Amino acid sequence: MASKAHEHLLDWLRDAHGMEQQAEQMLKAQAGRLENYPELKARIEQHIEETQHQADLVEGCISKLGGSPSGVKDTGGKMMAMMQGMGGMFTTDEVLKGGIASYAFEHFEMASYRSLIGAAEYAGEPEIKQTCEAILKQEEAMAKWLEDNLPETTMKYLQRDETEGATAKR
Ligand SMILES: [Fe+2]
């Protein structure tokens, strides 16, 4: 571990790894509940696969710096508390709250990777920087999809809610 910047980079990559594990849990819970929103469910399932791959990529960056991932519960600190608070929104049995929480969480992830990109550049770790840029693109794509689809999903919810015998919230 050469410099202070490297130590921070390693810590922040561990945070990102915990964040991806948290994301996977939340997305799985959300996809598992959805019954009447097949497009949303499919997009979430695609992002679960991406998220698993992202966790592996971040783990690779951690190993490259000579560390090992600490796992969700050991990450600790304010970041984790905040993510868990957001995670609470996913436990709601309701498609729109889940969609809104996902959109917010994707932006939290995007901010984390933007910061990591700067840290990797400062520390002189171009490969780690590239990895973070590639992950950032996937988070942005997911956020954009939700951005484009939340109004429509909401209209579908309202329509189902007015239809006798139809379930709206899942
Ligand atoms: Fe992610």
Q: How far is the CA of 22 from the centre of ligand 1 (A)?
A: 9
Q: How far is the CA of 155 from the centre of ligand 1 (A)?
A: 27
Q: How far is the CA of 98 from the centre of ligand 1 (A)?
A: 16
Nearest CA among 22, 34, 25, 15 for reference residue 160:
34
Q: What's the CATH number where 10 sits?
A: 1.20.1260.10
- For residue 53, tell me if it sits in a domain: yes
Task: For residue 82, name the pLDDT band (cuts at 50, 70, 90).
Answer: low
Residue with the bigger pLDDT between 105 and 77: it is 105
Query: For the residues 78-99, what does the mean pLDDT come to?
Result: 71
- For residue 168, tell me if it sits in a domain: no
0.95 exceeded by pTM: no
Q: How far is the CA of 84 from the centre of ligand 1 (A)?
A: 15
> How many Cβ atoms are within 10 Å of 44's Cβ, its own excluded?
24
- For residue 17, tell me if it sits in a domain: yes
Q: How far is the CA of 163 from the centre of ligand 1 (A)?
A: 36
Q: Write out the E strands in 51-98.
A: none
d(CA 157, CA 167): 9
Structurally, the chain folds into a number of domains equal to: 1
- For residue 170, tell me if it sits in a domain: no
Cα 73 to Cα 22, 27, 57, 84, distances in angstroms: 10, 18, 20, 11
- For residue 131, tell me if it sits in a domain: yes
Q: Which domain range does residue 134 map to?
A: 4-162
- For residue 107, tell me if it sits in a domain: yes
Task: For residue 87, name the pLDDT band (cuts at 50, 70, 90).
Answer: low
Name 63's Cβ contacts closer than 8 Å, sequence gap at least 6: none
- For residue 150, tell me if it sits in a domain: yes
pLDDT, tens only, 95-114: 999 999 999 999 999 999 99
